[in-house]
Structure 1
Amino acid sequence: MLGISTLRSGRFALPLLCLAWLCAIAIPAQGNPPTPVHGLALYGEPALPADFSHFSYVDPEAPRGGSLTRAAVGDSFDSTNPFILRGTPAAGLGQTYDSLTTANPDEPFSVYGLIAETLLLDPERRWIEYALRPEARFHDGEPITAEDVAFSFELLMEEGTPSYRSYYAEVSGVEVLDAHRVRFSFVENASRELPLIIGELPILPRHYWEARDFTHPDLEAHPGSGPYRIARVDPGRRIVYERVEDYWGEALPVNRGRHNIDRLVYDYFRDRDIAMEAFKAGLLDLRIDARAATWATGYDFPAYRDGSVRRLTIPDGTPATLQGYVFNLRKPRFQDPRVREALSLTFDFPWLNANLFYDSYARTQSAFQNSELAAEGLPSEAELALLEPLREHLDPRVFSEPMPLAEPEGLRERLRRAHDLLLEAGYVYRDRRLVHGDSGEPLRLEMLLFDTGMERVAQPMLRNMARLGVETSIRIVDVNQYLNRLRSFDFDMVTAQFPQSNNPGNEQRSYWTSEAAEIPLARNLMGLADPAVDALVEGLIRAESREALIAYTRALDRVLRLSFAVIPHYHSGETRLALWDKFGHPDPFPRYGNDFAAWWVDPEKSAEITRRQRGR
């Protein structure tokens, strides 16, 4: 499922994103011949009819023109190919590629045709066919054919990031039926969301890539078929995209009122503080403000006071992203869950919220926070039916402890409980050092970061660990080195994110399963390998009803919480934006995600902002 990535650019960089709006589909009745459709939905029919003219939240008459400059925080980039393991891809590359279908962010469980004009799903779910639009073109003018679709799938499975092979493992084959029809076949009892996931496959030009080394990162302006193309690359510093004037899909209902801005610019900054100064100076047009302190105190400057800069918040319509510190469970010292639980108790959220965050956050407790998917209280009968067969693999508290787990009140009591857990795990104090009683090895932990802004959040927790006798340190590296260390699993603890949708599916394999534990840059950075988790994830993916899905997510949530593989952080339940007031945007916003493609530059507002900036 599709979501926001912090480390890998583009809609289709699967290792660090999930498909936030895509889910399972409605099944035609057994025995009825399949009928070509314009879209697919989880329950009943898609909200929009076959003859819809545009998504309901867009302005189909939005003006075209102008530019939008945003910051990309990180040292640099060295690749314009977001689909491979090597290199650090530039921000925004996903806007240059189209897929077979696209999601409507105003619906939780629907997709509509993009490159595909119609979709044909086998009543027994053994395959899906896509009929391509004859007018679909790549940027170099070549037509998009079924051969390109099959080539893209095979190329990404063979030479793309390893997560493609995991994500599409249940696709048994792809068949070109004619120049504009392609069929994907599925294994028996495949995931219910698989037809939608295949629809989001990026389509690459066979004629361009078949004679090139796809695995080698470079900075070429590779042709896609999307609404934007690469216009300029300033290596490591800036990438500029221009709107494709003769974009083949401009008039499609899924695109009307979208892709209005002529130039999209991403400027690179070493850290967020420098990027904030650039925004205040008018060098950046818009920023997503993820730092509570900046949001509370950082906007007392002339442009904000005179109304040139404004702030707005967008409520989140999906479960809050689980962000947290993860242990590298591949290292023996973190394999005992008592050690992980002890170290988790050193995260003092009340202190952080009061002293750093202006009491603007709530503590995240669940992998499915702020949704009906999260576990609450004791397990229900439906959850117990799923958990009981796995009892031998589970912490007994899964059955007896209500969620959220109760923690000792006050830091002193939490540290006392952590101390007891470490002693239970075989640690002792010798010469004022915490060491394992058998090996004599000290308990060490290095926090690996690439963003200096997170250091102030990590330091209080590491100080609390040090009070227990843990040897702690922080290492801040550039993004390239950070990614390289993640690829080789060379870390003790890092920050990870697990975005969720209202209908979790195949992406859960990349998050939690044993299969993903050894895939470089999969979301399962911690290397969690638990047979109970594996079983619950597979059951979740194949859930036959909404009720069954909820039971599986809640059961999985309980097991994950008691694994203590993640120290959850916090969430706000909204997205905070600051912008120079020269843009128009949907009002209200789509319910299940902010669509920046539906924004536009307001000519009158833009002229006024330019006049004010010149007058300062």
Structure 2
Amino acid sequence: MRPVFFLPLKAAALLAAGLFTCQAAWSDPAHGIAMYGDPALPPDFVSLPYANPDAPRGGRVVTGNVGSFDSLNPFALKGTPPWQLSYLTHESLMGRSWDEPFTLYGLLAESVETGPNREWVEFTLRPQARFSDGSPVTVADVIWSYETLGTQGHPRYRTLQDQVASIEQTGPRSVRLTFDTEDRELALIAGLRPILKKSQWDGRDFANAALGDIPIGSAPYVVADYEVGRHVTLRRNPDYWGNDLPLRRGTNNFDEIRIEFYGDNTVLKEAFKARALSWIREFNADRWETQYDFPAVRSGEIVKSEIPHSTPSGMTGFVMNTRRPPLDDWRVRAALIHAFNFEYINDTLTGGRQPRITSYFSNSDLAMQPGPATGAVRDLLEPFAGTLPPGTLEGYALPIGDGSARNRSNLRKAMALLEQAGWTVQDGVLKNADEQPLELTVLLQQDALIQQATAIMDIYARALERLGIALDVQSIDKAQYAERERMFDFDLTFMRRSLSLSPGNEQRFYWGSEAADQPGSRNLMGMRSPAADAMIDAMLTARNREDFVAATRALDRVLTAGRYVIPIHQYAVGRIAHIRELRYLKDHLPIYGDGVGFLPEVWWYEKDQEQ
């Protein structure tokens, strides 16, 4: 297109007036959108590369959750719903390919279009898109969903709403969102918001809906039956509208998915051994090697599958709540990390088979590099030098123990740090100048990792006792835990943050200052770091991959050197034990490995085929 300033004034004015209705002046509608570059799959792609378009449909599978549920609305803050619902019963305008860092393809929307700087995004709905009750998905439903989730939904949906200047219908099947923030990822985030049925909620309180008020979705599965505390049954909708979409071919193959609830992980695993469950995920490498030799495995009725991935390690460990003293002092947090005898714990509990996480983005090119910050990373961080934790610019690495049970050297360093922070041992108890003892509570919930986390904390408590610190380990049910986590009522708790190859707006919810005191946010440590906020902004406004990587590496330094989490081992391989009737496409695994878009989404049931 010719630059406007070369046109006669009148023509330029006419062109400016027509830009709203002539979107092609900026970009053409496309079948997909990538964070950087172009989508890998062409407009005429047949299916996702890790899905089998010829997979048979049918079969009933049973999975297990630990705990209970008191809600079937996965989009509101109130209650604890089964985590699977938002992925299996509802859809968004675009769907994600888990074989690319961050690329979306049309789902409810047939096309996507953006402004030259992604200052707006426009979606055009497919004419055949339908909710599970057969009613069409309309632009009114889309606008209502954005506005309702952005104001009454779970906090994870509200950040987008705060950055939307306007949302309006631009055609019979098209809707445009205009943003008031420079953030290239917003166009993709908008494409992933769930779309709900507006008329269902006429006269109803969405935020405080009753258990039976199940949001109507458009996805392949619907809630067919449930019993509180026992099960939720999902059945594939025989009239699902999108069976022939490229994004859906070879996916959602099971006729029925039943979610059973168990009081603890031990009972769940025994149920799996008895073939009451169709699959189970194992997070402990030592148990995977030593405890999965029961008769059903030896006979081939149960198959062990390992699913590698190419994503960052993320962060798994025990997060420290900096809203509470003395955990607001980096020296105390550093001391607690030194006292954590990872080498001995790892050898004792996993046979040393799982390496430790070294930073939030370790195992990827997004990870902070060893030694001092250099180049673009240093340039980004230097304006904040006066507020950065020690080691951010100079270089920081986790302490390494000698592998012995005593861990004497690191305990001495821990005590030195505590003394610097004003804590001394008095009659065997660590106290501050006001003679207040250092007592900490670690809060754990009942889930698949509870046994391992509890065992880790038992060993850790003995180490802290040698420093004069009392550690109280509290294991509570899932509902109680969800409320206490929501209100940040803990000193330490177990945290798992999976991070992608294209981190973006979710980073604000994980570590951003605005989320620090927002009930229900994922910023469990309560960090308020101007440097972290600025690095997230730099990530979101980066115009090329090089600038994006530099900003992410700089953020990794701020997070890691902040000593907010006691990291444990990483999960470099997904481990799934499953009945032999379950299949997946083994010759093309997604780069994200085992996740929400893998099992059960692209698996299928084939009873008579040999392994």
TM-score by length of 2: 0.91
Q: How do 1:164-243 residues align onto structure 2 when only pairs under 5 Å count?
A: 164-189=157-182, 191-220=183-212, 221-243=214-236
Corresponding residue for residue 15 of structure 1:
none
Aligned length: 574
Residues 323 and 497, structure 1, Cα contact 8 Å, conserved in 2: yes
| AA of the residue aligned to 2:84 | G
Q: SS of 1:314's equivalent?
A: strand
Q: In 1, distance between residues paired with 2:215 and 2:179?
A: 31
Q: In 1, distance between residues paired with 2:25 and 2:378?
A: 37
Residues 36 and 545, structure 2, Cα contact 8 Å, conserved in 1: no
> What's the CA shift for 1:562?
1.6
Residues 197 and 216, structure 2, Cα contact 8 Å, conserved in 1: yes
Corresponding residue for residue 607 of structure 2:
603
Residues 167 and 510, structure 1, Cα contact 8 Å, conserved in 2: no
Q: SS of 2:71's equivalent?
A: coil
Q: In 1, distance between residues paired with 2:275 and 2:228?
A: 23
Q: In 1, distance between residues paired with 2:157 and 2:293?
A: 46
**Could you report, residue by residue, the CA deviation over 1:482-530 in whole angstroms, capped at 9, with x for unpaired residues?**
0111122211110112211111111110111111111222221111112
Q: How do 1:582-593 residues align onto structure 2 when only pairs under 5 Å count?
A: 582-588=581-587, 589-593=589-593
Q: In 2, distance between residues paired with 1:358 and 1:422?
A: 31
Corresponding residue for residue 69 of structure 2:
77
Q: How do 1:93-492 residues align onto structure 2 when only pairs under 5 Å count?
A: 93-94=85-86, 95-189=88-182, 191-220=183-212, 221-377=214-370, 378-401=372-395, 403-405=396-398, 407=400, 409=402, 411-437=407-433, 439-451=434-446, 452-453=450-451, 454-492=453-491
Q: In 2, distance between residues paired with 1:545 and 1:178?
A: 33
**Could you report, residue by residue, the CA deviation over 1:111-161 in whole angstroms, capped at 9, with x for unpaired residues?**
100000011111232211100011111111111001100000000011111
Q: SS of 1:356's equivalent?
A: helix
> What's the CA shift for 1:91?
3.6
Q: SS of 1:363's equivalent?
A: coil
Q: In 2, distance between residues paired with 1:534 and 1:126?
A: 21
Q: In 2, distance between residues paired with 1:269 and 1:408?
A: 37
| AA of the residue aligned to 1:556 | L
**Could you report, residue by residue, the CA deviation over 1:165-201 in whole angstroms, capped at 9, with x for unpaired residues?**
2244322221122331100101142x11111110001
| AA of the residue aligned to 2:486 | R
> What's the CA shift for 1:406?
5.1
| AA of the residue aligned to 1:58 | A
Residues 390 and 561, structure 2, Cα contact 8 Å, conserved in 1: no
Q: In 1, distance between residues paired with 2:314 and 2:389?
A: 25
Q: In 2, distance between residues paired with 1:555 and 1:173?
A: 33
| AA of the residue aligned to 1:336 | D
> What's the CA shift for 1:217?
4.4
Corresponding residue for residue 530 of structure 1:
529
> What's the CA shift for 1:37?
0.6
Residues 124 and 175, structure 2, Cα contact 8 Å, conserved in 1: yes
> What's the CA shift for 1:408?
6.0
Residue 43 of structure 2 is aligned to residue 47 of structure 1: no
Corresponding residue for residue 57 of structure 1:
50
Residues 80 and 217, structure 1, Cα contact 8 Å, conserved in 2: no
Q: 1:119 to 1:465 in 2, by over 3 A?
A: same
> What's the CA shift for 1:396?
4.1
Higher mean Cα deviation, 258-267 or 52-61? 52-61
Residues 296 and 358, structure 1, Cα contact 8 Å, conserved in 2: no
- Give identity over the alignment, percent: 40
Residues 31 and 123, structure 1, Cα contact 8 Å, conserved in 2: no
Q: SS of 2:471's equivalent?
A: strand
Q: In 2, distance between residues paired with 1:327 and 1:77?
A: 27
Residues 196 and 215, structure 2, Cα contact 8 Å, conserved in 1: no
| AA of the residue aligned to 1:209 | W
Q: SS of 2:306's equivalent?
A: strand
Corresponding residue for residue 577 of structure 2:
578
**Could you report, residue by residue, the CA deviation over 1:505-564 in whole angstroms, capped at 9, with x for unpaired residues?**
111101111111112222211111122222222222222221111111111111212211
| AA of the residue aligned to 1:267 | E
**Could you report, residue by residue, the CA deviation over 1:288-308 in whole angstroms, capped at 9, with x for unpaired residues?**
111234212222221111111
Give the RMSD, CA atoms, in angstroms. Answer: 1.7
> What's the CA shift for 1:59?
1.6
Q: In 1, distance between residues paired with 2:82 and 2:572?
A: 28
Q: In 2, distance between residues paired with 1:333 and 1:273?
A: 35
> What's the CA shift for 1:259?
1.0
Q: SS of 1:69's equivalent?
A: strand
Residue 514 of structure 2 is aligned to residue 515 of structure 1: yes
Residues 63 and 260, structure 1, Cα contact 8 Å, conserved in 2: yes
Corresponding residue for residue 10 of structure 1:
none
**Could you report, residue by residue, the CA deviation over 1:67-122 in whole angstroms, capped at 9, with x for unpaired residues?**
11111112x10100011111111242121101100011122231100000011111
> What's the CA shift for 1:407?
4.4
Higher mean Cα deviation, 312-321 or 591-600? 591-600
Residues 323 and 570, structure 1, Cα contact 8 Å, conserved in 2: yes
Residues 72 and 91, structure 1, Cα contact 8 Å, conserved in 2: no
> What's the CA shift for 1:35?
0.6
Question: For structure 2, which runs of at least 5 residues remain unmatched after alignment?
Answer: 1-22
Corresponding residue for residue 6 of structure 1:
none
